[in-house]
Structure 1
Amino acid sequence: MTVGAEQSQREEDLIATVVASFDGCADRRLRELMQSLVRHLHAFIRDVRLTEEEWNAAIAFLTACGAITDDRRQEFILLSDVLGASMQVVAVNNEAYANATEATVFGPFFVEDAPLLEQGGDMSFGAVGEPCLVVGTVSDTEGRPIPGARIEVWEADEDGFYDVQYTDGRTAARAHLFSDAGGEYRFWGLTPTPYPIPHDGPVGKMLEAVDRSPMRASHLHFMVSAPGFRTLVTHIFVRGDELLASDSVFGVKDSLVMDFQPHPSGDPTPDGRDLGDSTWSDVRFDIVLAPAAS
């Protein structure tokens, strides 16, 4: 659509007026953010020639996101995730550093104060799914082990739900543990399986409208922290999962795709755990932390 010179000047004058309205903001960073937001928002409106009907639909959509959000569900994080904004923020804030493990999205299902797990313990706490032994080390970029690193782990159960999505107050498939004196860790969890992000709300309706799937590739969440190091938020993914190339929140990175080795029922576990008739898997994930910014 061609826009005449007079109309274009009116629109540019408005942008200049709105941007200037923030000139008096004493917080330099806040001023920068607001003025840049105005420029980009107005550029979008002008680029697509947004109609008033579309503007009203957008307001209704954001209102619906707010209405469905509560202390157990964060629709705005889902919206950020499916637009790739979450991954872009991760990229901006986790610049590549030597051989440090890559970061990925935090997701909406982390919970503070997860139970403490001893080395070799089972973080599933009764959640349904195939047992999976996860082992690895935490080290710095020079290969030196990091003892006492706090490792938060959480995942969905075999039915595709996190504990917080149930209404019975359960705590399952989440825990925290610490790397030992040699930087090693091990725990039992569940073999990750694909699941959809919550899609019964406005974000789900948006995905349906644009013919996008809500499915996430199979993954296990980690958050790893230690004094003097950059906190790492990441996942590991299952090699061979057909959803790796179409993860709904764009979280997959090649370096985070791992080999989950399957084992038949009756195959002995390294720690002698009795799994009855269950099949199981194991995976190794060696974590490398970048130094904290100086």
Structure 2
Amino acid sequence: MTGANTMHTHDLPSAGLSASDPAELLAAVLRANAGTSNARLKQVMDALIRHVHAFALDVDLTPAELDLALDFLVRIGQASGPRKNEGILLADILGLATLVQLRGAREALARGGTEPALVGPFWRAHQPVRAHGESVATADTPGAPLLVKGRVCSLDGSPLVGARVETWQASPQGLYENQDPEQEDMNLRGVFLTDAQGRFHFRSVRPAGYPVPVDGPCGELLAAQGRGVMRPAHLHFIVVADGHKVLATQYFDIEDPHAHEDVVFGAVGSLLRRFEPDGHGGFGLDIELRLEPGEPHLPHCPLP
């Protein structure tokens, strides 16, 4: 068959590649990426291409296994919604989110900055601004009272006035309010602005540990690995101040039975703290949040 639309072998993009030479294939894929105009994207994609090809060769990946992996990624997206973000959860349980956070803060940590921790999939946009001393918990929220006192400062100890401190936590039942129809909207969430000394304080209830969601693909993976699914009790914080990099962190209850086996590898270093008894059945937590100078860039908020 001949004609204007006839395709010859030499017209095919793959022409000249040896079917048995992975190095030639890798070189061709890297050449295809060479025209990427964004220098950082080109760098990242070059590295990704090299690592993915090396991985496939290292494990001798089969077509059936590749299909299974691609289906897993599709289901990660399909399982995400207003109550959870399965993609964030995947980065968390692989330790990737913690690795990236710690690498990004290595200079600040060397200068005494607060250790970061992953944002996680339960931060919500438009959390309510509250007054100093106000409770983030509704009156019907069970649990031992908790008083949190905090100070926000730069690496040199200078107080940061008017810094925005967002906090959120799970209930003593181990559920965030967006997961739990029994809780009032925005329960156990709040935003506080620091005073002239860089301080803030609020009341809450002592949080409990909880299992990460296991009703999706990430749960299947954890089961296949024979891993635990628990996170130790903790409070989340995101701190925003002019002229400083955004700090996302968590403080963990060191007395939680899972304090040293966090399924997402976030309970590290000084973030493990003792919630001090106040002698009246309640607890207290005093924290100092030290921010690195730089441009403030908020992380993506996973939930409305």
Normalised by the length of structure 1, the TM-score is 0.89
Q: Which residue of 1 aligns with 2:94?
A: 83
Q: Which residue of 2 aligns with 1:242?
A: 257
Q: Distance in 2 between matches of 1:128 and 1:77?
A: 29
- CA offset at residue 198 of structure 1? 0.7
Point out where structure 1 has 5 or more consecutive residues left out of the alignment. 1-6, 268-278
Check the 8 A contact 1:104/1:233 in 2, yes or no.
Answer: yes
Give secondary structure in 1 for the equivalent of 2:103: helix
Please tell me the residue identity of whatever aligns with 1:290. E
2:126 is equivalent to residue 113 of structure 1 = yes
Q: Which residue of 2 aligns with 1:26?
A: 37
Give secondary structure in 1 for the equivalent of 2:66: helix
2:169 is equivalent to residue 155 of structure 1 = yes
- CA offset at residue 9 of structure 1? 6.2
- CA offset at residue 130 of structure 1? 2.2
Q: Which residue of 1 aligns with 2:188?
A: 173
Give secondary structure in 1 for the equivalent of 2:166: strand
Cα RMSD, aligned residues only:
1.9
Give secondary structure in 2 for the equivalent of 1:152: strand
Stretches (4+) displaced over 4 A: none
Pair 230,206 (structure 1): closer, same or farther in 2 beyond 3 Å: same
Q: Which residue of 2 aligns with 1:104?
A: 117
Q: Distance in 2 between matches of 1:154 and 1:128?
A: 16
Q: Which residue of 1 aligns with 2:10?
A: none
Which one of the candidate residues 189, 201, 205 is aligned to 2:204?
Answer: 189
Q: Distance in 1 between matches of 2:202 and 2:141?
A: 15
Q: Distance in 2 between matches of 1:57 and 1:179?
A: 49
Give secondary structure in 1 for the equivalent of 2:21: helix
Q: Percent identity?
A: 34
Q: Which residue of 1 aligns with 2:228?
A: 213
Q: Distance in 2 between matches of 1:41 and 1:100?
A: 35
Please tell me the residue identity of whatever aligns with 2:101. V
Give secondary structure in 2 for the equivalent of 1:101: coil
Please tell me the residue identity of whatever aligns with 1:93. G
Q: Which residue of 2 aligns with 1:37?
A: 48
Q: Which residue of 2 aligns with 1:144?
A: 158
Q: Where do residues 216-235 of structure 1 align in structure 2 (5 Å cutoff)?
A: 216-235=231-250
Count of residues in Structure 1 that have an aligned counterpart in Structure 2 = 276
Check the 8 A contact 1:258/1:285 in 2, yes or no.
Answer: no
Check the 8 A contact 2:79/2:216 in 1, yes or no.
Answer: yes
- CA offset at residue 166 of structure 1? 2.7
Q: Distance in 2 between matches of 1:143 and 1:23?
A: 46
**Greater Rg by CA:** 2
